[in-house]
Amino acid sequence: MSTAKITVIIPCYRAAATLPAAAASVLDGAPADLTLLLVDDGSPDDTGAVCDALAAQDGRITALHRANGGPAAARNTGLDAAAGDWVLFADADDTLLPGLWAALPPAFASGADIIMYGMERAAGPSACPLAPGFYASPADFGPALEPLLFESGYLATPCNKLYRRRLLDGVRFDEALRINEDVLFNLQVLQALPAFYCLERAFYHENNVTAGSLSRRLRGDLLDAETVTRPALDAFLCAAAVPPPQRAALLRKSRVRAALNQYGLLTGCPGAMPFAQRRALFARILADADARAALTAQLAADPHRLLALPYRLGAAAGWPGWLAAYTQCKNHFL
């Protein structure tokens, strides 16, 4: 096994039940000089005590404690303490799959700056769009670039990669964001056009079916978060010499996907949200001609035509107040 020194960072919040399994999965077969940083993000439960207990059991584990600031702040605390050659992020309710450490030496020897590996997701399979092997920069991803950026989420997450630590000098997670902070972080890293090595197998299991996941919790910040990350996407695409027409199409796709995702949360997730905020979000979606066209096409293809009728009417007429009132009532009573 390579002598490259690795630091693994796990932000921990309300993770007392899942953290032991996450930590055990990291340490299974890991090199003796690996460092596992457990960053307790001011958790109100027993997470901090679990971090300390795990650190007392294994000299490779260090427990760090900080005031609550969210996952971005916790990851930044870990980054500030990271040493060695490589950094790997994991979440406290996920696990590494067996075999990662033994698979790394060829990737280390390739001269790559980022080593990416496949993921399994609790909600279903997640195939990697990129063929295994070495890539001198993301400019060489070819047709895999778009699915890597969007459908698969492979470039967005920090949890399916090892980063050469010096690549992260001066790059940190934006602590003001509560979503897409990982997207922004990775887009900023990608602007350096790092060399990639893609491993053949899946080595990360993501538990993405909890109530707090994006697809299951009402929130209203997706449009704002995409507005923040879009300039970084543009800068990366420019650095990668993506032709202007393709770049414009990808930026448009980023904007439209955020609008459709926000629409999906507003119409499909129960939860309290002020009527004015709900109406303003629908108004922003309908004001974007590309998003409105995509939404209209999506509603036209809905097989549940009767159930979709109120949404089709609101979208076609451009009535954000109608959509806000209808979804607020529906989500309250259903």
* Amino acid 3: pLDDT: 64
DSSP string, 268-328: H------HHHHHHHHHHHHHSHHHHHHHHHHHHT-S-HHHHHHHHHHHHHT-HHHHHHHHH
The Cα–Cα gap between 85 and 105 comes to 13
Residue-number span of the structural domain to which 172 is assigned: 6-210
Residues contacting residue 330 through CB under 8 Å, at least 6 positions apart: none
Q: Which residue has the tokens 């702040």?
A: 73
Q: Name residues whose C-beta falls within 8 Å of residue 118's C-beta, 6 or more positions apart in sequence.
A: 126, 127, 128, 160, 199, 200, 201, 202, 203, 204
Report the mean per-residue pLDDT for the chain: 94
Question: Which of 35-39, 226-230, 303-307 has the lowest average pLDDT?
Answer: 303-307
Structure tokens at 199: 């491993």
What confidence tier does 212 reach under pLDDT thresholds 50, 70, 90?
very low
Residue 126: helix, strand or coil by DSSP? strand
pTM of the model: 0.93
- The CATH number covering residue 141 comes to 3.90.550.10
Total domains in the chain come to 2
Which helix (DSSP H) or strand (DSSP E) does residue 246 occupy? helix 244-268
Q: Are residues 266 and 325 in the same domain?
A: yes
Domain-located, residue 1:
no
Helix axes 222-239, 244-268, angle to 10 degrees: 160
Residue 206 domain-assigned (yes or no): yes
* Domain co-membership, 312 together with 199: no
Residue 300 lies in a domain: yes
